[in-house]
């Protein structure tokens, strides 16, 4: 099995400000930990790439793209809301995250790789068409889904989001579109306030949004039940051609920004279920990107568990 790994030190150039939880140490701690694991040498290193504006435009408005560049260049401390701390390099780094996810998807579609993981920041799933939100500037996974459809002609894409916070921006990008199944497990009610079970899509897209809200204190067993009872049947019925994963690890029991109590092993368990779905429906085609995860001691271990299953080093 051939698994791609993409880490670009330029991801560190985004600076949201002193004391911000979305700090560069999220990546440096993970990269250092992974470098010490003997199995990481077998991963295929993939180079980062910047997304062209035309792909950003498939999800974001021109007004927003221009405002992001202008505000960040001005030296303003945040974009749109105070939790999206920025610096002059932030738009470039967010475009680099997006283009890197697209580049990984290209290699998986070309069968140069079986699957791949992008270790990147800032995250993207909260970014709306015309607004930065929740540490996120550009919605990299939503843009990549549109890229796969428009550039590669894929018809049906699954976006599975196991970040502890609901991916409001991703859901809103596709809630009226039956060609993208968006599935999310997340703490609820909690930030950003969306993601109720009653949110199932709109118009032609009714039935292709699946929210599995979890109460504070939920454990591995709650997540496994949601997968068996709701997620697996929905994905089986949808039969995607490609799986994209918003891999947030902030549902871990030690994470400081939420109150879900998952073990590290649960992330491996979910990854194995995703691999089984990909093997059955997508010829194994799966690409994931880091979203949340803010305990820099535990985040590296969660990422390693995810990568070990993707690469076949260790089954869950």
Angle subtended at Cα 200 by Cα 269 and Cα 161, rounded to the nearest 5 degrees: 30
- For residues 222-232, b (16+ Cβ closer than 10 Å) or e, as one string? bbeebbeebbe
Contact 292, 99 (CB under 8 A): no
Q: What does each C-alpha distance from 161 to 17, 247, 266 come to in angstroms?
A: 27, 6, 14
Count the Cβ atoms, other than its own, within 10 Å of residue 182: 30
| Location of structure tokens 């979305």 | 22
Which DSSP letter does residue 139 get? -
* SS3 at position 187: strand
| Location of structure tokens 């999310």 | 184
Question: Which ranges of the chain does DSSP label H, i.e. alpha helix?
Answer: 25-35, 53-56, 62-73, 90-109, 140-152, 168-174, 220-226, 232-238, 264-281, 299-311
Assigned token pair, 247: 């891999």
Out of 14, 60, 125, 126, which one is annotated catalytic?
126
Q: From CA 176, how far away is CA 1, in angstroms rounded?
A: 36
Q: Which of 270, 272, 284, 290 is nearest to 100 (CA)?
A: 290
Angle subtended at Cα 7 by Cα 95 and Cα 181, rounded to the nearest 5 degrees: 60
**126 counts as catalytic:** yes
Question: Which positions are catalytic?
Answer: 126
């Amino acid at each position: 099995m051939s698994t791609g790994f993409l880490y670009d030190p330029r991801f560190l150039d985004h600076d949201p400000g002193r004391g911000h939880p979305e700090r560069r140490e999220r990546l440096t701690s993970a990269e250092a930990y992974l470098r010490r694991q003997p199995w990481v040498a077998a991963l295929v290193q993939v180079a980062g790439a910047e997304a062209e504006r035309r792909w950003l435009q498939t999800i974001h408005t021109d007004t927003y793209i221009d405002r992001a560049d202008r505000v960040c260049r001005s030296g303003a401390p945040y974009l749109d809301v105070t939790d999206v701390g920025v610096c002059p390099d932030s738009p470039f780094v967010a475009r680099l995250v997006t283009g890197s996810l697209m580049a990984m998807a290209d290699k998986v579609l070309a069968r140069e790789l079986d699957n791949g993981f992008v270790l990147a920041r800032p995250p993207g799933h909260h970014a709306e068409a015309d607004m930065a939100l929740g540490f996120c500037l550009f919605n990299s996974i939503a843009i990549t889904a549109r890229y796969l459809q428009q550039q590669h002609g894929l018809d049906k894409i699954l976006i599975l989001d196991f970040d502890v916070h609901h991916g409001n921006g991703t859901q809103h990008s596709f809630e009226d579109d039956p060609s993208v199944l968006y599935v999310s497990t997340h703490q609820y009610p909690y930030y950003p306030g969306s993601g109720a079970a009653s949110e199932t899509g709109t118009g032609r897209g009714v039935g292709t949004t699946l929210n599995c809200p979890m109460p504070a204190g939920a454990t591995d067993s709650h997540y496994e039940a949601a997968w068996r009872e709701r997620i697996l049947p929905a994905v089986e019925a949808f039969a995607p051609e490609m799986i994209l994963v918003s891999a947030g690890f902030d549902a871990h029991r030690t994470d400081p920004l939420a109150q879900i109590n998952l073990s590290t092993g649960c992330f491996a368990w979910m990854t194995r279920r995703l691999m089984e779905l990909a093997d059955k429906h997508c010829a194994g085609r799966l690409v994931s990107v880091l979203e949340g995860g803010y305990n820099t001691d535990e985040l590296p271990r969660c990422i390693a568990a995810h990568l070990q299953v993707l690469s076949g080093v260790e089954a869950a």
